[in-house]
Amino acid sequence: MRRLRQLVIGIGIASLCLTVGEAPGQSEGLQVQVRDVEVRLSDHGPVVLLKAENKVIPIFVDATVAGSIQAALTGQKLSRPLSHDLMRTILDSFGGKVTQVIITLKEGIFRGALTVVMNDKTRVFDSRSSDAIALAVHFKAPIVIGRDLLDSAGKVMQDSKTLTL
């Protein structure tokens, strides 16, 4: 039974994450915590807005991930669980949780480092930024970005309702 449990957890995590690794090397002074997450529709499709300080970082996502994040933000219960709901249920049932997400930008692609704690073990998984954000929202875990990312990709927020993406 224990092996089956480990297999189920492994398959669930593997479906959203690519490889196990170490957290991206960023020193504490160079990190900024995202204070708010918002889902919007734009001319280019669904977008997740990561808000920190007076800036916003737009990350374009697919409609399913946008729906999952929006449902988690609003507390909406969907008729059937989406992948992120399932992952949360699996982790919860085995005492695991997402404790932090770090979003980076490498070669023009946003990436997520998803920190999961289970059975007193901490693992960091490389994932799509959208999946990492969705799971962070589901677990109410902090989302962290580097100061360099905020400075390079962040757009100054005058009024987020009129932000052009």
In single-letter form, the type of residue at position 148 comes to D
Write out pLDDT tens, residues 83-95. 999 999 999 999 9
Task: Give yes or no for a contact between 64 and 82, defined as CB atoms under 8 angstroms apart.
Answer: yes
- Please tell me the pTM assigned to this model: 0.78
Dihedral angle at the C-alpha atoms of 149, 137, 128, 11, nearest 10 degrees?
A: 150
H-only helix segments in the chain: 2-16, 63-74, 83-93, 129-139, 147-153
Question: Helices 2-16 and 83-93 meet at what angle, rounded to 10?
Answer: 150
In single-letter form, the type of residue at position 73 comes to L
Of the pLDDT bands very low, low, confident and very high (cuts 50, 70, 90), residue 24 is very low
Residue 5 pLDDT greater than 80, yes or no:
no
pLDDT value of position 157: 81
pLDDT value of position 10: 44
- Side-chain-side CA neighbours of residue 68 (13 Å): 24
Of the pLDDT bands very low, low, confident and very high (cuts 50, 70, 90), residue 15 is very low
